[in-house]
Each structure stands twice: as structure tokens, then as C-alpha cells.
Amino acid sequence: MLKGVVLLSQSSAAVVTATLPAVQAHGEAITSRFYQRMFKAHPELLNIFNKSHQATGEQPAALAASVVAYAEHLIGGGDDRSWELILSRIAHKHASLGITATQYTIVGRHLLAAVGEVLGEAVTAEVATAWDEVYWLLACELIAREARLYTQAGVGEDGSVWRHWQVVECIQETADVVSFRLVPADGGPPPTFTPGQYVSVAVDLDGGGQQIRQYSLSGQPGATYWQITVKRVRATGDAPAGVVSTLLHERVTAGDTLRLSPPFGEVNAVGDAGPLLLVSAGIGLTPAMSALHHLAATETDREVVLVHADRSAAAHARRHELPDLAEQLPNLSVQLWYEDPAEGASDRLKAEVNVGRVDPSRIPLPAGADIHLCGPVPFMYQVRAELLRRDVSKDRIGYDVFGPGMLRD
């Protein structure tokens, strides 16, 4: 929603301005309490929320931050462009999870009750009305965007985003990474997508219930199958092994079916017609691989720079595809960074191979390039800071975060 288009009523704006500091200070306590209340009243919603994000607090933080930031925006802060990006990201994520308009009533009821519980007597009827207005302005904007996304994706009358897909091939890319190739179980053609888009995958858990995770489509749009490439999240210290990635690695084989959403995601990893810089690290290579295959099939003369960082050549998934892509894309140049140079660093790929972590100052930057980043958040901050230092406009830098939230300015 853009400033000047829909505004908070004057009386609510004054109340929100006065109470924003208190809500801000207790934002995470409010959303944590909200989730406890909501899941108690609606345990079925545990099936759509990510249990690990709840355990680590990442999702409560994302929701709290967005409601508070939206209130700030309504009373005059924040720029419209950042809001456009935030709303678009949330709507795409919600659509990939099949969130419905009815569920907004449930969330709104429990969120506002949690505000009352945490802030106590400070929440007068006037304060409750003002925050209710903030919530519903935001909710209506998201509901409208999600409705449009469902229509564009051809979601049927029943409103379900889930469709069964059959796994036709599992490719063990590295010790910790497997690719799954999938076709619609009903025999129809796979819908096309834009590189950078992802699907939600829903899996059933042993003890009952399901969990949903997103995976970027990592193959060529328009191919006869979809491909996702999944890194197994191993247990470390106190952190348990990843629920869904472990299940996909250990249990799913060719012939099995998975429930997938249509492709969603606001990020376009191929940019416009000009030069393209793709910078990835680890499993963040998936949107870049889709972009490269797309260009190899459609725009072979594009000037493309791929910069990829990984622990080692052996850990670098789908590295073996790069020589063929380089042949198909004569204007592709590749710069690789491996922390461990010992294994398998040389093959028929003509690439600049460096030892150590990425030195962002050495990333080649074609003039006027569109840029796509994907990898761990600290890596993306570091690369983006260097690109901004080199006078790249923020608008040209797209990125995917493989978790909740976005990069801060």
C-alpha cells in the first residue's frame, strides 16, 4: 500500500504514534504470546507454520517487525519502494503456503488479544481500535495481493495450492546435496516459472501433521520436468538436523509423490536484457543455476558473470554443469572461490578459481549489470555493501533469502 492511497484515520494515527514505542519495545513478546494463543485455539495451523522458525524465534521476529514497521509507515516513515518489496515478499510467501482470507481473521483476533495481554491496562478501547485498524489495513492489502497471485497461478475453485508431483529422478549432487526432478502426477505439463521463483513442498511427519518448506526451482523453465536442489541440514552442537531436508534426503526416491505449490516469488534472477551478475554461495546457487539454464536456452549472447563461493570444489553442487553452460553461453565468465583448494579444483571448466572466502572487491562488475545475490545473509550483506560502494544502484540488486525476512538497508 502506498502512502497517500490508503491512510490511517486521524484519531487512530495519533493513538498509534503515542503507543508505537511501547508496542515496539514489546513487539516480540506480543508475537510470541500471539503464537501460543493461536496454536492453542487452532492446532491445525501448526501444519502450515515452520516449527523450527518457531523454536529459533525467527518467524515471530519477522511478523513483529513487519507489523510495527507498517504502523510506522502509516504514520509517515519508510519509503514506498521498500514497502512495495516487503508486501510483495510476504504475499508471495503466503500464497505459496495457501494462506486464506479467513485465516486473517484468526490471526487478527489472537494478535490483538496478545497486545492486550502483554501491554495490560495501557490498552484502552481507543488503543485497541487504532491497532485493529493498522492490522486490517495491512491484512486487506495482503489479502488482495494474495488473491491476485492465486488467480495468476490458476489456483482452482477449492482454493488449494497443493498438487501431487511424481519424483522421476533423484540426483546425488554432492555428499549433502540432492536434486529431485519432478513431473505432475496427473500427467499435465509443468507450469513455467521465472528463475528466482520457488515452490513450497509439504511433507507428512511420522508423528502426524505436516511441515512445509520452500525450494527454488533450479532447472530450466519450460523443461518437461521441474527440478529442486536440496541441501541436507545436518545437526550441529545443540541444533537438531533439519526436519524436511533430512526427510527428503533419506526417504524420497524415484516413483514417490510430493505435494508442491505453484511457483511463487517476487525475485527475478535473470534481470532484463543487459549484462547479468550472479553471485552465490553454497546452496544459494539454485536460482543462479536456473538463470543460467534459462539463458542457455533463450538468450545465448547475454553477458553473464557467475561468482560462486563454496567450501570446496567437491562441495560445489552441480559444478559439472558449468562447462556445458559455458559452451552454450560464450559471454559467460566464471569466478569461483573455494575455502579448501585441495580437492578437484581443475577440470575442463575455464574459470578463475580462487582460494579462500570471496573478496567482494574482486567481483567483476559489468557496466549496467542487473545483479542477483543468494547465499547466507552475512555473505549477501558483505557483497551488497561492496556493490553499493562501487555506485551500483540498490534497485539493480535483487536477492533471495533462504529463510524469513529481508536484508536491512
H helices within 235-376, ranges in order? 243-251, 285-298, 322-328
125's grid cell:
478501547
Among 66, 216, 280, 286, binds ligand HEM (CB under 6 A): 66
What is the 3-state secondary structure of 203-221? EECCCCCEEEEEEEECCCC
| Cα torsion through 247, 165, 100, 24, rounded to 10 | 40
Non-local (6+) Cβ contacts of 344 within 8 A are 312, 313, 314
CA torsion 28-29-34-35 (nearest 10°) is 70
User: Which of the choices ligand FAD, ligand HEM, none does residue 26 contact, using the CB cut-off of 5 to 8 A by kind?
Assistant: none
> Is 104 a known active-site residue?
yes
Q: 243 touches which of ligand HEM, ligand FAD, none (CB within 5 to 8 A by kind)?
A: ligand FAD
Q: Does 34 bind ligand FAD (CB under 6 A)?
A: no
Asked whether the beta carbons of 97 and 149 are under 8 A apart, the reply is no
59 binds, among ligand HEM, ligand FAD, none (CB under 5 to 8 A by kind): ligand HEM
The site for ligand FAD, by CB under 6 A, has a size of 27
In whole angstroms, the minimum distance from the beta carbon of 214 to ligand HEM comes to 8
Q: Does 93 bind ligand HEM (CB under 6 A)?
A: yes
Applying CB under 6 A, does 90 fall inside the site for ligand HEM? yes
- H or E element, residue 64: helix 58-74
49 binds, among ligand FAD, ligand HEM, none (CB under 5 to 8 A by kind): ligand HEM
From the list 104, 198, 215, 399, the catalytic residue is 104
Is the distance from CB of 169 to CB of 181 less than 8 angstroms? Answer: yes
Among residues 16, 23, 67, 244, which is the contact residue for ligand HEM, using CB under 6 A? Answer: 67
399 part of the interface to ligand HEM, by CB under 6 A: no
375 contacts 278 by C-beta, under 8 angstroms: no
Range 213-272, binding ligand FAD (CB under 6 A): 213-216, 218, 229-231, 233, 238-240, 242-246
Sign of CA dihedral 234, 240, 244, 250: positive
Q: Are 224 and 297 in contact (CB under 8 A)?
A: no
State yes or no: residue 96 binds ligand HEM (CB under 6 A): no
Of 146, 173, 266, 338, catalytic:
146
**Positive or negative, the Cα torsion across 192, 156, 62, 133?**
positive
Asked if 407 touches ligand FAD (CB under 6 A), the answer is no
Q: State whether residue 136 is helix, strand or coil.
A: helix
Q: Assess whether 198 carries a catalytic annotation.
A: no
Nearer to ligand FAD by Cβ, of 11 and 192: the residue is 192
Which residues form the catalytic set? 104, 146
- Site for ligand HEM, rule CB under 6 A: 45, 48-50, 53, 59, 62-63, 66-67, 89-90, 93-94, 97, 99, 103-104, 107, 135, 138-139, 142, 404-405
- Site for ligand FAD, rule CB under 6 A: 50, 52, 55-56, 198, 213-216, 218, 229-231, 233, 238-240, 242-246, 283, 286, 400, 402-403
